[in-house]
């Protein structure tokens, strides 16, 4: 999913919850034709098929500066191609990002990652997003199942298998508290519990 001015936070969340229900209803044990989606707070959505009620919290797993750059670029600089490595791990203000984009004609290129640094970076961003939601778990309303849906944007040259292997190890050694954690990455929704892991291919 590309970042542009059309993709507000609300639209991203609506897009993700629909992907989850459309492609993973069997994993969730939902009767698809009877499923109703309700926007909520803490968690973000309630999914109900009359027999099962599932709470779904949604979060993004992305470097803070990359989120800002994508949001700002989408509003005013959508013709500029940006390499995300140009901004990661830098404490830039919105004004500084705007100044950099204003000076660019068509693209800004950052340094490429070496070895498995990209996979390490993406995995750490995902784990950080999950950890923050685990800490808030007690504050969410509880249902038959309580799900965390994580959105991580695909990067060029990313080895997804390495990221998933590291996430499986993380979930095996962590009290993840949610009944299921789903990760939207590329064209699949990966799911994790302490006992199982797998994926749902997104239908196009």
Instruction: Identify whether 55 is part of a domain.
Output: yes
Residues 81 and 103 in one domain: yes
Instruction: Give the residue-averaged pLDDT of 184-201.
Output: 94
- Taking only the tens place, the pLDDT of each residue in 126-158 is 999 999 999 999 999 999 999 999 999 887 789
Asked whether residue 28 carries a pLDDT value surpassing 90, the answer given is yes
Residues 175 and 125 in one domain: yes
Instruction: Identify whether 85 is part of a domain.
Output: yes
Residues 79 and 147 in one domain: no
- Taking only the tens place, the pLDDT of each residue in 33-64 is 999 999 999 999 999 999 999 999 999 997 76
Residues 6+ apart with CB under 8 A from 48: 35, 36, 38, 54
Per the structure, the count of domains in the chain is 2
Residues 83 and 32 in one domain: no
- Taking only the tens place, the pLDDT of each residue in 98-131 is 787 788 777 776 777 888 988 999 999 999 999 9
Going by C-alpha positions, the residue among 84, 131, 133 that lies closest to residue 110 is 84
Question: Which of 16-25, 57-66, 88-97 is predicted with the least confidence, judged by mean pLDDT?
Answer: 88-97
Residues 104 and 140 in one domain: no
Residues 103 and 82 in one domain: yes
Instruction: Identify whether 134 is part of a domain.
Output: yes
HSE at residue 160, side-chain half, CA atoms within 13 A, is: 14
């Amino acid at each position: 999913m590309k970042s542009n001015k059309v993709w507000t936070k609300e639209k991203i969340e609506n897009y993700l919850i629909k992907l989850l229900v459309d492609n993973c209803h069997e994993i969730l044990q939902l009767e698809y034709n009877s499923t109703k989606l309700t926007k909520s707070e803490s968690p973000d959505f309630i999914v109900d098929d009359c027999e099962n009620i599932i709470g779904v919290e949604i979060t993004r797993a992305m470097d803070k500066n990359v989120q800002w750059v994508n949001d700002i670029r989408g509003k005013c600089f959508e013709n500029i191609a940006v390499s995300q490595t140009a901004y990661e791990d830098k404490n830039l203000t919105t004004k500084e990002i705007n100044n950099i984009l204003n000076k660019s004609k068509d693209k800004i290129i950052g340094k490429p990652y070496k070895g498995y640094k990209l996979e390490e970076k993406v995995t750490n961003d995902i784990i950080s997003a999950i950890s923050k939601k685990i800490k808030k778990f007690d504050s969410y309303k509880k249902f038959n199942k309580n799900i965390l849906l994580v959105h991580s944007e695909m990067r060029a040259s990313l080895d997804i298998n390495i990221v998933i292997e590291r996430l499986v190890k993380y979930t095996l050694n962590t009290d993840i508290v949610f009944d299921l954690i789903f990760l939207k990455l590329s064209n699949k929704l990966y799911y994790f519990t302490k006992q199982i892991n797998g994926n749902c291919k997104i239908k196009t």
